A and B are shown apart, each in its own frame.
Chain A
């Protein structure tokens, strides 16, 4: 069974540019989560999809972040325009039963 995959593994962009991160969950997992870790701090929750619906987006930092989940399969997280403080590692996780979450390897975003 393939695990959670994330693309790209690393992205370097300039302030003001746009970046789109992608997450492919484990097949059959209806629950998909995005988290972020900024500069060695805590890993923080961003949002939770159940199928294609946003269950909880209380962790989204501002309206520069847009998350979508097409047809309840893969998800994208767009940052537009990117700011320096958006640098960090973005993790995606998926879950079948909402208890045990399986994490992807993360996307390291560097905004210069």
Chain B
């Protein structure tokens, strides 16, 4: 069975500050890793994914995440956040056979001016 732990339920941060949202997973098989984002009053959007290859993956809006197999982590980082990054962020895993996603509890990122 797989599980995902997001260590922070809420992360308040000032605009232009760096941020890290933490995600740890547990699995007995190799996994695919994802970060989804839910902006207020919207659905879930895929932010970035790790399937294989380079352990550092990036999104188009400046977020990046690094897959660390030894620490079973997939933390999300951004060097400088904007007000528009305020949202709830979900870390998720799936097995390589493309079945169900297992989600963490979510982290609410609140960017303050």
Residues of A in contact with B (beta carbons under 8 Å apart): 4, 31, 33, 35, 40-45, 48, 55-56, 59, 91, 93, 95, 97-106
Contact = CB atoms under 8 A, between A and B. Distances in A.
Interface residues of B, number: 22
A43 B98 contact: no
B78 interface: no
A91 B44 contact: yes
Contact of B104 (A42, A56, A93): A42
B100 A98 contact: no
B91 to A, nearest CB: 10
Nearest to A5: B43
Contacts of A40: 105-106
A99 B44 contact: no
A98 B36 contact: no
29 contacts: A4-B43, A31-B98, A33-B100, A35-B101, A35-B103, A40-B106, A41-B105, A42-B104, A42-B106, A43-B44, A43-B101, A43-B103, A43-B106, A45-B100, A45-B101, A45-B102, A48-B99, A56-B99, A95-B98, A98-B98, A99-B32, A99-B51, A99-B94, A99-B98, A101-B101, A103-B44, A104-B43, A106-B43, A106-B44
B26 to A, nearest CB: 14
Contacts of B25: none
A39 B3 CA distance: 19
Contacts of A48: 99-100
